[in-house]
Structure 1
Amino acid sequence: MKKKLNVGLVGMGKMGILHGGILCSMDSVVPVAVADTETMLHSFAKSILPQMNFYKDYREMLEKERLDLVYITVPTVLHPPIAEACVEKGIPFFVEKPLGISCEQCVPLIRKLREKPVINMVGYVLHFQDVVRKARAIVQSGVLGEPIHLKSYMYVTQTLSKSGGTKYKKSVMGGGVLNVVATHLVDILVWLFGDIAQVQGSVKSYHSHEVEDFAHSYLRFRSGLEGYLDTSWSLRGYRLPEIKIEVEAEKGRLILTEDYVKLFLDASGRWESFFKQTLYESVEIDVGGPEFTREDRHMVDSVLNGKETGLDVLYAYEIQRVTDAIYRSAQMGQMIEVKNIGA
């Protein structure tokens, strides 16, 4: 008989419900417990998942349940401490992005993992999008030659009036649109083009009191590639998050969005387009997009097979280093190096 993983979930907000729904559909998974401080969510969840155990405190869940995997989908400030508790118990974990509110907050987790490794993964889900995978395959093939310059943005219409609440508190989320939303854009830029060495950032708050609504940064990669990113959650006309990356290279040009990849090569003198519909590969259940199912399948299979995920805490720490550096650069008003913060 094939092994089934007993899975516990910490946090039953939007992402917890999303991952929970996907995991419930997998034959190799048995969701057995949920921890959430909101008792109203307990009543709702019990009505549809009567076989599960519910806890107000994740520490009690980790102590009482025999878990093979834990999903952590809570406000950002709680990511590292809950992950640390999983490491102490020797339990593999998945934690939503970003890794934490700052590099400094993540250092104890990294040190614990070095002392007691467990399989882990951070939710940079765009690695599992068909168009992003296609763009990476093109870049890695070398057909573009040396990348020279890029421009990129990530926009969404989320905040158009004075905003409060937990998700707009710097102490809880680590920042605004850059750390909460555009961490996905930073991730894809690093995954496609390698480490970022220097940044010169600027941020602007208008609707939000504690965090930024707009962010912009010049980027210099270790490869010599240069360009910029721009992001906001306070622009009209973006009902869903929208990413666009344009790269000028030695032998052509690449454009990536969440809907298509377009490639121009000087040798052919024409554009070639790859749309998400033609790149699509089916999944067993599609909740929120096939990339989320692929992400969860990858996490589960990694635990079942005892293999690293390739999207672990150390990788996510590299993304955190870039966002932290952009914030520091904006505060200092100058270009700075993306440095290691004591890990």
Structure 2
Amino acid sequence: MDENINIGIIGMGKMGILHTGILNSLDGANVKAVAEKQNLVLKPIKQLLPAISTYSDYLDMIQNEDLDLIYITTPTSFHTNIALDCVDSGIPFFVEKPLGISVDNCKPLIEGIKQKPTINMIGYSMHFVDTFRKAKDVLDSGVLGDLIYFNSSMYVSQLFSKGKGWRYKKETSGGGVLSTLGAHLVDLLIWFFGDVSLVEGHTNSYYSKDVEDFVHSYILFKDGLGGYLDVSWSVRNYRLPEIKIEVHGEKGMLVVSDDYLKVYSDQGAKWNMYYKQDLYDGVDFDLGGPEYTREDKHMIKSVKEGIDSGLDVFDAFKVQKVVDAIYKSASIKSAIEEDEL
């Protein structure tokens, strides 16, 4: 497929607008239509971008437009049903994370994809951040030897009073800081270390009534590596979300964040330091961070070449299982083992 692929965007909130801007800047992509329930949002799109068709009902968009790819950037509770409609229509789709509001909510989509394979991708954008990609290479190289222990966190200064909007309502978001933010960290840990065999979680809802503001969890992976996850959107002095992962191995250790990677080798008895600017290889158009451009280019490439994205709903389902297990563990005050994940 050498010509432009025609793309539809469902949900014109922050992420819908971001992806629309990026996709329309890339060679080989054309945002042809958008669907959004709120006329207050649709009206300026009609005025400013007359070449883009607008719909208040996404099903009308799917039926009336000749689309090669659909982006699903709605509140989480709508993800799986819209994705199933894409599968039924045979249209590749990209869905923002998390995949759904619960494991049970995701199961019909998982079964639907198995019955009718469709190219798809989940928006776990940390896979496209330079420092985390480099950390993955280091871990896969075996230079640290057997991995012994990890500690990880994700913090942002977002909520210090009762939150407003769909993200703070469990029925639309699936949960609080873990589901809407910390899922990125869970995804990175699974990407780095593999499948999970045991989870123990604790949550605290200090500012929120319906969802959690703080999460602390112990995670044990199938290869025996264990460690901790700590997530909150109510920690001061974090203007932007910040991830930090520390990994200890038999031959050294590494520490990785959004901004840097440092690796310590026992053999050399020294640190090797990599800053994000040292690893940066540039993107065509940067809006919100280069990782979003990279994931969009990867999605376009997957559709044009008819290949699996390598970061699909099955990967997202693994994350969903761990997220649900943390919530369940916190609720019953007991660890969740592999056969319950």
Bin the TM-score by the shorter chain: over 0.9
Deviations 1:16-41 (A, max 9, x none): 00000000011211111100001111
Q: What secondary structure, in the 3-state scheme, does the structure 2 residue paired with 1:162 have?
A: coil
| More off after superposition, 131-140 vs 23-32 | 23-32
Trace 1:1-343 onto structure 2 (pairs within 5 A): 2-339=2-339
What is the identity, as a one-letter code, of the residue corresponding to 1:231? V
How far did residue 255 of structure 1 move? 0.2
Do 2:177 and 2:214's aligned partners in 1 also have CA atoms closer than 8 Å?
Answer: yes
TM-score (norm 2): 0.98
How far did residue 4 of structure 1 move? 1.4
Deviations 1:287-340 (A, max 9, x none): 111110000000000000000001100010001000000000001101111446
Q: What secondary structure, in the 3-state scheme, does the structure 2 residue paired with 1:121 have?
A: strand
Q: In 2, distance between residues paired with 1:232 and 1:99?
A: 20
Q: In 2, distance between residues paired with 1:33 and 1:287?
A: 20
How far did residue 279 of structure 1 move? 0.2
Deviations 1:60-88 (A, max 9, x none): 11111111000000000000000000000
How far did residue 43 of structure 1 move? 1.3
Q: In 1, distance between residues paired with 2:289 and 2:163?
A: 28
What is the identity, as a one-letter code, of the residue corresponding to 1:268? G
How far did residue 2 of structure 1 move? 2.2
| More off after superposition, 285-294 vs 39-48 | 39-48
Q: What secondary structure, in the 3-state scheme, does the structure 1 residue paired with 2:61 have?
A: helix
What is the identity, as a one-letter code, of the residue corresponding to 1:297? K
Structure 1 gaps of 5+ residues are none
Q: In 1, distance between residues paired with 2:136 and 2:228?
A: 19
Query: 1:340–1:59: structure 2 CA closer, same or farther, 3 Å change rule?
Result: farther
Deviations 1:245-277 (A, max 9, x none): 111111001100100000001010000101100
Deviations 1:114-137 (A, max 9, x none): 111110000000000110010000
How far did residue 42 of structure 1 move? 1.1
Aligned length: 341
Do 1:325 and 1:338's aligned partners in 2 also have CA atoms closer than 8 Å?
Answer: no
| More off after superposition, 22-31 vs 127-136 | 22-31
How far did residue 3 of structure 1 move? 1.9
Q: In 2, distance between residues paired with 1:338 and 1:70?
A: 34
Do 2:12 and 2:41's aligned partners in 1 also have CA atoms closer than 8 Å?
Answer: yes
TM-score (norm 1): 0.98
Q: In 1, distance between residues paired with 2:118 and 2:90?
A: 6
What is the identity, as a one-letter code, of the residue corresponding to 2:122? V
C-alpha RMSD of the superposition: 1.0
Do 2:2 and 2:304's aligned partners in 1 also have CA atoms closer than 8 Å?
Answer: no
Q: In 1, distance between residues paired with 2:168 and 2:303?
A: 34
Q: In 2, distance between residues paired with 1:340 and 1:319?
A: 14
